[in-house]
Structure 1
Amino acid sequence: MSTHQFTGVIDRFEDDLAVILLEACGEVIDEVVLDRAELPADGAETNAVLTVTLTSDGEVAALEYEPGETTGRKEKAQSRFDRLAERQPKDDEQ
């Protein structure tokens, strides 16, 4: 049985379920929903980045938390937010 790996980002939790967005080439291509208990303990938080391995029939075969990627994305998002917060208002915004 063949498998495929994707980058997954935990988008949200709905009760005991985790919604993970699957990415390929930087674009969201699908999502999977798992029980929160199936997540790696150190990566069970919103915006955590995971390597998701799917079987050829779309079942999750493995999840691996990626702490370096998670930290990098958080820092990038914070930097972008900080730049927007420091932006000078345009004349018609004052």
Structure 2
Amino acid sequence: MTETYIATVDRIVDGQTAVLLLEDDDETVDQFDVDVTRLPAEGQHERAVLEITVEASELCEAEYLPEITQSRKESAQERLNRLSTELSERD
């Protein structure tokens, strides 16, 4: 059975293995480890967001999603800025 997921590169271990967190409805549902060279070159970094197709526990396709990657990066930065502002206002 072929399945398609949105996946985020959580980390790259020893420069060789990409640990992908698979998502369903914005929730992490599984982890999938793959040789980093199987990913598109532009998606071979932590926090890269990809659309992947898996069949029989094998990666069939991976497409880097730059717009989603950038959007998530900006959202995370906004949250950090908000938190740091709230903490500095307590002083």
Q: Same fold (TM over 0.5)?
A: yes
Q: How does 1:7-86 map to 2 (within 5 A)?
A: 7-15=6-14, 16-55=16-55, 57-86=56-85
Give the alignment's Cα RMSD to 1 decimal: 1.0
Q: State the alpha-carbon separation in 2 of the partners of residues 72 and 43 from structure 1.
A: 15
Percentage of identical aligned residues:
38
Q: State the alpha-carbon separation in 2 of the partners of residues 5 and 37 from structure 1.
A: 19
Q: State the alpha-carbon separation in 1 of the partners of residues 33 and 57 from structure 2.
A: 11
- The answer for unaligned runs of 5 or more in structure 1 is none
Structure having the higher Rg? 1
- Tell me the equivalent position of 2:5: 6
Q: TM-score, normalised by structure 1?
A: 0.88
Q: State the alpha-carbon separation in 1 of the partners of residues 64 and 23 from structure 2.
A: 15
